[in-house]
């Protein structure tokens, strides 16, 4: 039987992943192996990512990850983020982050009293390079007062993520790939990224290609989201732009992601452990449930992914949502509602 390694992590990770598991079990037959990860795990066992969890992840076909809390800077010596370690360990080089409001943007705006959300439907995908850039962990202190973080951009890393973005566009009938960079200042590193983008785009005649600076993109994503289709970018920019873009669809509660490599994949909500709402039972489980939809897509069962996306859409239309989307349901109730809509469909 196919194996899923499930890591709930900290904070709302422990609240949203059980709901995602309900949906996973409703639609698929998987052996579920649970692994400890995160700050609580570090306090209990002295490591945020135990060897035992790594072994379980190796054994599994796919990983479902919740969210973890990071210790404060300098609180833990030599701390390495488990999620960054997992991405690098399994070479999960492509982080795919769809930003989609299922055509109910106006409704979400109304539910939320967000004027700016009342107008637009949004459907774009951010493809973030996931193994290099500023996240390689090469940081050092020189003479106490100078801190250096190295940003690594390689031809190999850039070629494969840019090719991935164009192949993704081709497969999903998308019309355009935009390269987002800061090559006007980071002339060497982003200069290389952009140069490789310009080489690769020539091989995809049917897909439009353009490129923009990351700072003006931060503005244009909010002002003209319809100008974007597939975005390909480096690690840090992709991290920041995806949280920003989630605002267009009502927030992080609706932003799922897939971390894809050659042999394995990890699925997780874009959000973190949300300590401000953890323990209250009000976290939106939809981002995690939509990550399960991406898991089914990856497994070649896109029809199941579509059923999940439709169930989430029905929940929003019928105002069965947590407070972040303007509703008054609890995390568990939203999970139950989604399962109910799934049962109606199949
Ligand atoms: P966050 O994503 O946890 O929360 C940002 C804001 O969005 C908060 O106000 C939160 O309440 C809200 N939010 C997030 N998810 C939500 C959901 N499902 N439903 C409703 N509201 C939701 O970011 P943060 O507060 O900057 O970080 C908190 C902790 O999470 C930090 O320790 C950070 O390092 C960690 N983090 C972990 C991951 C990960 O595990 N992959 C990602 C990002 C942040
Ligand atoms: Mn992030």
Domain ranges of the chain: 1-114+251-346, 117-122+132-249
Any idea which architecture 1-114+251-346 has in CATH?
A: 3-Layer(aba) Sandwich (3.40)
Q: Is 239 a catalytic residue?
A: yes
Write the class of the CATH domain 117-122+132-249: alpha beta
- Terminal CA-CA length for the chain: 22
Pocket of ligand 1 (CB under 6 A): 12, 16, 67-70, 83, 252-253, 268, 271-277, 283-284, 287, 324
Residue 114 pLDDT grade (very low, low, confident, very high; cuts 50, 70, 90): confident
> Among 215, 223, 302, 344, which one carries the catalytic annotation?
215
Query: Which pairs from 106-115 meet CB under 8 Å and 24+ separation?
Result: 107/316, 107/317, 108/249, 108/250, 108/316, 108/325, 108/326, 110/326, 111/250, 111/316, 111/319, 111/321, 111/325, 111/326, 111/327, 112/250, 112/325, 112/326, 113/326, 114/250
- The residue whose CA is least distant from atom 27 of ligand 1 is 272
Q: Are the CB atoms for 79 and 71 separated by under 8 Å? A: yes
User: How many residues are present in the chain?
Assistant: 346
Q: Please report the beta strands in the chain, taking only residues with DSSP state E, as ranges in sequence order.
A: 3-9, 31-34, 62-67, 94-100, 123-129, 139-142, 146-149, 176-181, 208-213, 230-233, 256-260, 265-269
Alpha-carbon separation of residue 54 from 63, 142, 262, 285 (angstroms)? 11, 33, 18, 25
| Strand 230-233 relative to strand 208-213, pairing | unpaired
pLDDT(120) > 80: no
| pLDDT value of residue 346 | 66
Alpha-carbon separation of residue 177 from 81, 197, 294 (angstroms)? 30, 10, 20
What ipTM does the predicted assembly reach?
A: 0.99
| pLDDT value of residue 285 | 98
Two structure tokens written together for 30? 């998987």
Q: Is 229 a catalytic residue?
A: no
| pLDDT value of residue 117 | 73
CA distance 320 to 316: 6
| pLDDT value of residue 119 | 62
Domains 1-114+251-346 and 117-122+132-249 share a fold: yes
What are 134-171's pLDDT values in tens digits?
999 999 999 889 999 999 999 999 999 999 999 999 99
What are 311-346's pLDDT values in tens digits?
999 999 999 999 999 999 999 999 999 999 999 986
Q: Is 206 helix (H, G, I), strand (E, B) or coil?
A: coil
In sequence order, the β-bridge partners of residue 4 are 32, 62
Hunting for tokens 């894809």 — which residue is that? 260
> Among 91, 121, 243, 336, which one carries the catalytic annotation?
243
Hunting for tokens 């050092």 — which residue is that? 140
What are 172-201's pLDDT values in tens digits?
999 999 999 999 999 999 999 999 999 999
What are 50-103's pLDDT values in tens digits?
999 999 999 999 999 999 999 998 889 889 999 999 999 999 999 999 999 998
> Among 14, 22, 56, 182, which one carries the catalytic annotation?
182
């Amino acid at each position: 039987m196919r194996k899923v390694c499930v890591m709930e992590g900290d904070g709302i990770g422990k609240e949203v992943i059980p709901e995602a598991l309900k949906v996973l079990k409703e639609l698929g037959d998987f052996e579920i192996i649970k692994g400890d990860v995160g700050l609580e795990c570090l306090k209990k066992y002295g490591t945020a990512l135990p060897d035992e969890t790594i072994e379980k992840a190796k054994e599994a076909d796919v990983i479902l990850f919740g969210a973890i809390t990071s210790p404060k800077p300098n609180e833990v010596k030599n701390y390495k983020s488990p999620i960054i370690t997992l991405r690098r360990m399994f070479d999960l080089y492509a982080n795919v982050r769809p930003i989609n409001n299922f055509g109910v943007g106006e409704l979400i705006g109304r539910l939320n009293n967000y004027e700016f959300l009342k107008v637009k439907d949004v459907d774009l995908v951010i493809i973030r390079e996931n193994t290099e850039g500023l996240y390689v962990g090469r940081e050092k202190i020189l003479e106490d007062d100078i801190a250096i973080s190295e940003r690594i951009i390689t031809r190999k890393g850039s070629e494969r993520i840019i090719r991935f973005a164009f192949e993704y566009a081709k497969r999903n009938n998308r019309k355009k790939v935009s390269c987002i960079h800061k090559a006007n200042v980071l002339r060497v590193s982003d200069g290389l990224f952009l140069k490789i983008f310009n080489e690769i785009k020539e091989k995809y005649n049917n897909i439009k290609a353009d490129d923009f600076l990351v700072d003006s993109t931060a503005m244009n994503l909010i002002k003209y989201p319809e100008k974007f289709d597939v975005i390909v970018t480096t690690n840090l920019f992709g991290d920041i732009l995806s949280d920003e873009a989630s605002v267009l669809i009502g927030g992080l509660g609706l932003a799922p992601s897939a971390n894809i490599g050659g042999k394995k994949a990890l699925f997780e909500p874009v959000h973190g452990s949300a300590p401000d709402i953890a323990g209250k039972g009000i976290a939106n489980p939809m981002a995690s449930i939509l990550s399960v939809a991406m898991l089914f897509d990856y497994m070649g069962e896109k029809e199941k992914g579509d059923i999940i996306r439709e169930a989430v859409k029905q929940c929003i239309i019928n105002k069965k949502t947590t407070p972040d989307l303007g509703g008054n349901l609890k995390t568990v109730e939203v999970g139950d509602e989604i399962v109910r809509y799934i049962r109606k469909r199949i």
